Amino acid sequence: MATALKNLSEYDPANIPDASDFKFGIIVSEWNHEITGAMLEGARSTLLKHGAKPENIFVYYVPGSFELTYGAQWLAENRNVDAIICIGCVIQGETRHFDYICQGVTQGITQLNVNYSIPFIFGVLTTQNIQQAFERAGGKHGNKGDEAAVTAIKMAHYRKMVIEE
């Protein structure tokens, strides 16, 4: 659904499972840190709001969005987590670099979901300009970090339900 039609921070809290039994990894791109920092705070506060313990939220940084895939893979292999949130922001420039980075990150995170038994959440903004990014990192369209955290909780819960059945 287009962000213009839905606020990224709006959801029904009653439909979110308790997160107190889960551990979450968050990989954050340092590139566009004003945006990714706001998204990280949105994700962290949403996880805490739904019961995640601060000591069960592990945050690591990578230089850019392209490195999110490797950072997330390394985290999955070295930390016992129930879901990994990948936070990044790629803003359209004058060259096709935007297309290659977006495609690489999308395919990389998709491949991680296929290769590992935990969910990797795509919390990456791909915007045409900095204004659109700010609008989706706590601005008028909400915070993509909130949405990513809600997705992480739901997917960790889904994984647990399937394993326990």
Q: Which residues are catalytic?
A: 97
In the chain, the amino acid numbered 131 is Q
Neighbour tally for 38: CB within 10 Å: 21
Q: How many CA atoms lie within 13 A of 134 on its CB side?
A: 4
Task: Return the residue matching tokens 């790629």.
Answer: 90
For the chain, state the CA radius of gyration: 15
Cα distances from 119 to residues 29, 31, 110, 129, 161, in angstroms, run: 19, 24, 10, 29, 14
Neighbour tally for 74: CB within 10 Å: 14
